[in-house]
Chains A and B, each alone.
Chain A
Amino acid sequence: MHRVVITGQGTINALGSDVAQTLAGFREGRCGIGPLEFRDVERLSIRIGGQVRGYDPECHFNRQEIALYDRFTQFAILAGREALAQSGLAFLDGSESQQAGVVMGTAGGGLLTQDENYRTVYEEGKNRVHPFVVPKLMNNAAASHLSMTYNLQGPSFTVATACASSNHAMGLAFQLIRAGSARVMLTGGSESMLCFGGIKAWEGLRVMSRDACRPFSANRNGMVQGEGAAVFVFEEYEHARRRGAEILAEVVGFAMTSDAEDIVMPSRQGAARAMRGALADAGLAPDRVGYINAHGTGTTANDKTECAAVADVFGTHADRLMISSTKSMHGHVIGGTGAIELLACIMALRDGVIAPTIGYQEPDPECALDIVPNEAREARVEVAMSNAFAFGGLNAVLALRRI
């Protein structure tokens, strides 16, 4: 069993185009959610989201790359580039490259590419689409382009478990290194579903808020979608030490469970089993956990179920730990959300700053935990946990330790 550490992190999301801006956003309790801007938005009833603003692909990619990269792939590459630069592993070769891979999470994959091209053939009646539609929209495009860009020749694949995709992805990357199947893994998640068709589909489910994402607040009225990516360099501990890499945190535990109950409603038992499993995997007592980055979607059902599950797992310690939902700031980034939220876990461990749950207005007796309302807080944390509970009842929880 090898130890696994994180030696690089990168992101782009509604709070900023890199890690520094995003962490500044967490510290300030800044809200990245605002009016959506895209074609036909006036035909939607939900018009807010955590959109990446002022983004120009031509500042980052050449014409050929843009022809091949859907927005979700672009986000993944930008995040991967930042993470690798920090890790000092700019480009691997020889046997090193064969022991390095990529596991990414996404739910929608190249949904913007699909939306644009459906419009072309159905609305505009054209009989021809761009030749790269398929390689652009496929869910593994981001993972594949990361492997090609950085010559990562080991195990690479994409995980699609809706809102838990990136936690599943990072957990599997952790397991691959721990088991000795890889030494370095780029891992995280990416999502870009903020387009007319993407939001129209979500509207139908009637779980979206028209005004704000207010996790754990009694007056919460639904989720708000975001977009973006976060990518991390997971590395075998001795490998990282030998090359003198700066270690951001250690990944110590991971567990996955399935509710086997309902396609949309969350389960207290399924969530609790995943948290207990991650603690057991890490060999940690519950009272070592100082911070949980909640799934915290801002829906009635998730937030009360999650708080009940936390109470089940942590007992009296549930009242001492801090739990916050950063979705209130960057929105729910679906298949990329767990990765962006892991940044808040690492910030808690490294910097001793707990990202707040913003938009909090009214206490809910069913969510009576310390949710770090509205303002970031300084606290020393030894172990942080990240929850993700997906539609379809698929749960994935990671545990990180300060190093």
Chain B
Amino acid sequence: MAQDVASEVIRIIAEQAVLDPADVTPDSTLETLGIDSLGLVEAIFAIEETFDIQVPFNANDPGATEFDISSVAAIIAAVEDLVAKKG
């Protein structure tokens, strides 16, 4: 399951960045991938729909929420956490 979450998150992020999933590495950041604030909001929507979870995120203060978006690895970890909490 963990592997599935990672690959699905990478697929979603790659789609937003218009990149091949192979080009999205765990240490990539949204900035290096060229994903802007609208792209981020759309990616979070896709993540919520894919995993049937609620992602706590406010575009006004991306840094303050517990959902870490500092890198692709951080996003994957945060999504895995939310999926695990869902049970």
Q: Using CB atoms and an 8 Å cutoff, list the residues of chain A in contact with chain B.
A: 45, 204-207, 209, 220-222, 263-265, 299-301
B51 at the interface (CB under 8 A from A): no
Q: Is the CB of A265 within 8 A of B37?
A: yes
Q: Is the CB of B37 within 8 A of A222?
A: no
Chain B residues numbered 2-45 whose CB sits less than 8 Å from any CB in chain A: 37-38, 41, 44-45
Indicate the member of B38, B44, B60, B64 with the most A CB atoms within 10 Å: B60
Q: List 18 A-B contacts (CB under 8 A).
A: A45-B54, A204-B45, A206-B44, A206-B57, A207-B58, A209-B58, A209-B60, A221-B60, A221-B61, A221-B64, A222-B58, A222-B59, A264-B37, A264-B38, A265-B37, A299-B60, A300-B59, A300-B60
Give the CA-CA distance A385 to B45 in the complex, in Å.
Answer: 38
Known: A204-B45, A206-B44. A300 touches B61 (CB 8 A): yes
Annotate B46-85 by CB proximity to A: 1 below 8 A, 0 otherwise: 0000000010011111001000000000000000000000
- Identify the 4 closest CB pairs spanning chains A and B, nearest first: A206-B59, A300-B60, A222-B60, A221-B60
Q: Is the CB of A263 within 8 A of B60?
A: no
Task: Give the number of residue pairs across the A-B interface with Cβ within 8 Å.
Answer: 33
Contacts of B54 in A (CB 8 A): 45
What is the size, in residues, of chain B's interface with A at 8 Å between Cβ atoms? 12
Q: Tell me how far the C-beta of B45 lies from the nearest C-beta in chain A, rounded to whole angstroms.
A: 7
Q: Tell me how far the C-beta of A129 lies from the nearest C-beta in chain B, rounded to whole angstroms.
A: 30
Indicate the member of B45, B57, B59, B61 with the most A CB atoms within 10 Å: B59
Q: Find the B residue at minimum CB distance from A210.
A: B58
Q: Is the CB of B59 within 8 A of A205?
A: yes
Q: Is the CB of A207 within 8 A of B60?
A: yes
Give the CA-CA distance A264 to B59 in the complex, in Å.
Answer: 12
Contacts of B44 in A (CB 8 A): 206
Q: Is the CB of B38 within 8 A of A263?
A: yes
Indicate the member of B45, B57, B58 with the most A CB atoms within 10 Å: B58
Contacts of B58 in A (CB 8 A): 206-207, 209, 221-222
Q: Find the B residue at minimum CB distance from A205.
A: B41
Contacts of A222 in B (CB 8 A): 58-60
Q: A209-B58, A209-B60, A220-B60 are in contact. List 6 more A-B contacts (CB 8 A).
A: A206-B41, A206-B44, A206-B57, A206-B59, A222-B60, A300-B60
Give the CA-CA distance A263 to B64 in the complex, in Å.
Answer: 24
Q: Which of A45, A207, A220, A263 contacts B59 (CB 8 A)?
A: A207
